[in-house]
Structure 1
Amino acid sequence: MKKKSTFYVLLITLLIISFNGLSKSIGISNYALDKNVYLSQNYNPLEDYVSLKPDYFKQEIAIATCNPITVYLDASGNITITPSDIDPSNVGPNFSLDISSFTCADIGTPVTVTITDSTDSLTCTSSVTVLDSMNPITPILNPVTVDCNGTLTIPTTTDNCTGTINGTTSDTLAFVEGGSTIINWTFDDGNGNFISVPQTYNYNDTTAPTPDVANLPDVTGECSATATAPTATDNCSGAITGTTTDPLTYNAQGTYTITWTYDDGNGN
Structure 2
Amino acid sequence: MRKVLSLTTGAVIFGITTAAQAQIDVVFKIDESGSMQSAIDGVKTNVKTIYDALPSNSHVGLVGYGSWSHCGSEGQIPHVHTPLTADQNVFYNAVEDMVADGGSEQGYRAVYESATDTIAAAWNGSFCVSTPAPSLGFTGAPYCNILITDETPNQGGRTQQEAIAAMTDRGGVFFGIMPTGLFAETQKLADDTGGKLFDLNQFLNNPQPVIAAVLEACVWATSLKAGDGLAEGECLPANSTNITYALDYGNPSQNSIQGVKISHTDGTWGGSSWNEDVGSLSAEASGSATATLPVGPLSPGMKFSNQFTMSSTTPGVAKAVATKETQVCLNLPPVAKCKDIQVFLDANGNAAISPTDIDNGSYDPDEGDHISLSISKSNFTCSDVGVQDFLSLTVTDDSGASNSCVAKVTTVDKVAPVVKTKDVTVQLSASGKASIAVSDVDGGSADNCCIASRSISKNSFTCADVGPQSVTLTVTDCNGNSASAAATVTVADTLAPTNVQANAPATIVPSDAPISFKATATDNCSAAIQITDYSCYKVKKDGSQQSKMESCVVNVSGDTLTVADSGGVGDNIIWTIIATDPSGNATTAEGHVLVANPGSSGETANNGVGNGQDPQPPGNPPVNDGQGTSPGNPGRKGKK
State the TM-score, normalizing by the size of structure 2: 0.24
Moved more, 128-137 or 93-102: 93-102
Aligned equivalents of 2:454 and 2:498: distance in 1? 35
Does residue 153 of structure 1 match 2:437?
A: yes
Structure 1 equivalent of residue 386 of structure 2: 108
Structure 2 equivalent of residue 182 of structure 1: 470
Aligned equivalents of 1:86 and 1:115: distance in 2? 8
CA offsets per residue over residues 125-147 of structure 1, 9 Å max, x none? 11111000111012134254442
Cα distance change, pair 146–80 in 1 and its aligned pair in 2 (3 A): farther
Does residue 134 of structure 1 match 2:408?
A: no
Cα distance change, pair 177–129 in 1 and its aligned pair in 2 (3 A): closer
Kept in 2: contact 1:207–1:235 (CA 8 A)? yes
Aligned equivalents of 1:141 and 1:160: distance in 2? 21
Kept in 2: contact 1:244–1:259 (CA 8 A)? no
Structure 2 equivalent of residue 258 of structure 1: 626
Kept in 2: contact 1:243–1:261 (CA 8 A)? no
Cα distance change, pair 200–253 in 1 and its aligned pair in 2 (3 A): same
Match of 2:614 among 238, 249, 260: 249
CA offsets per residue over residues 127-172 of structure 1, 9 Å max, x none? 1110001110121342544423221121442211124742243x69
- CA-CA distance at 1:73 after TM superposition: 0.9
Aligned equivalents of 2:411 and 2:614: distance in 1? 84
CA offsets per residue over residues 200-235 of structure 1, 9 Å max, x none? 333321245899xxxxxxxxxxxxxxxxxxxxx987
- CA-CA distance at 1:181 after TM superposition: 3.4
CA offsets per residue over residues 72-122 of structure 1, 9 Å max, x none? 1122222222212223878x9943221222121211232111112343222
Aligned equivalents of 1:196 and 1:133: distance in 2? 15
Kept in 2: contact 1:177–1:203 (CA 8 A)? yes
CA offsets per residue over residues 44-65 of structure 1, 9 Å max, x none? xxxxxxxxxxxxxxxx877854
Match of 2:490 among 202, 212, 219: 202
Cα distance change, pair 161–207 in 1 and its aligned pair in 2 (3 A): farther
**Rg: which structure is higher?**
2
Kept in 1: contact 2:337–2:360 (CA 8 A)? no
SS at match of 1:67: coil
Aligned equivalents of 2:357 and 2:486: distance in 1? 40
Match of 1:87 among 356, 359, 371: 359
Structure 1 equivalent of residue 342 of structure 2: 70
Aligned equivalents of 2:485 and 2:628: distance in 1? 46
Cα distance change, pair 63–84 in 1 and its aligned pair in 2 (3 A): closer
SS at match of 2:356: helix
CA offsets per residue over residues 229-251 of structure 1, 9 Å max, x none? xxxx98778xxxx9742763155
Kept in 2: contact 1:113–1:126 (CA 8 A)? yes
Query: Relative contact order (alpha carbons < 8 A, sep ≥ 6): 1 or 2 greater?
Result: 1
State the TM-score, normalizing by the size of structure 1: 0.51
Structure 2 equivalent of residue 37 of structure 1: none
The amino acid across from 1:138 in the alignment is V
Kept in 2: contact 1:244–1:260 (CA 8 A)? no
Kept in 1: contact 2:451–2:478 (CA 8 A)? no
Aligned equivalents of 1:88 and 1:250: distance in 2? 106
Cα distance change, pair 134–84 in 1 and its aligned pair in 2 (3 A): same
Q: Which runs of 5+ in 2 are unaligned?
A: 1-331, 363-369, 500-521, 527-586, 593-612, 631-640
Aligned equivalents of 2:614 and 2:588: distance in 1? 14
Moved more, 193-202 or 160-169: 160-169
Q: How many residues matched?
A: 176
CA offsets per residue over residues 177-210 of structure 1, 9 Å max, x none? 5354323332221423211222333332124589
Aligned equivalents of 2:393 and 2:496: distance in 1? 73
Aligned equivalents of 1:66 and 1:196: distance in 2? 40
Cα distance change, pair 249–93 in 1 and its aligned pair in 2 (3 A): farther
Cα distance change, pair 78–174 in 1 and its aligned pair in 2 (3 A): same
The amino acid across from 2:413 in the alignment is D
Report the aligned-residue RMSD.
4.2
Cα distance change, pair 62–249 in 1 and its aligned pair in 2 (3 A): farther
Structure 1 equivalent of residue 140 of structure 2: none
Aligned equivalents of 2:420 and 2:412: distance in 1? 23
Aligned equivalents of 1:204 and 1:122: distance in 2? 73
- CA-CA distance at 1:174 after TM superposition: 5.6
Cα distance change, pair 75–152 in 1 and its aligned pair in 2 (3 A): same
Kept in 1: contact 2:469–2:489 (CA 8 A)? yes
Identity of aligned residues (%): 29
Kept in 1: contact 2:393–2:406 (CA 8 A)? yes
Q: Which runs of 5+ in 1 are unaligned?
A: 1-59, 212-232, 263-268
Cα distance change, pair 158–259 in 1 and its aligned pair in 2 (3 A): same
Kept in 1: contact 2:355–2:374 (CA 8 A)? yes
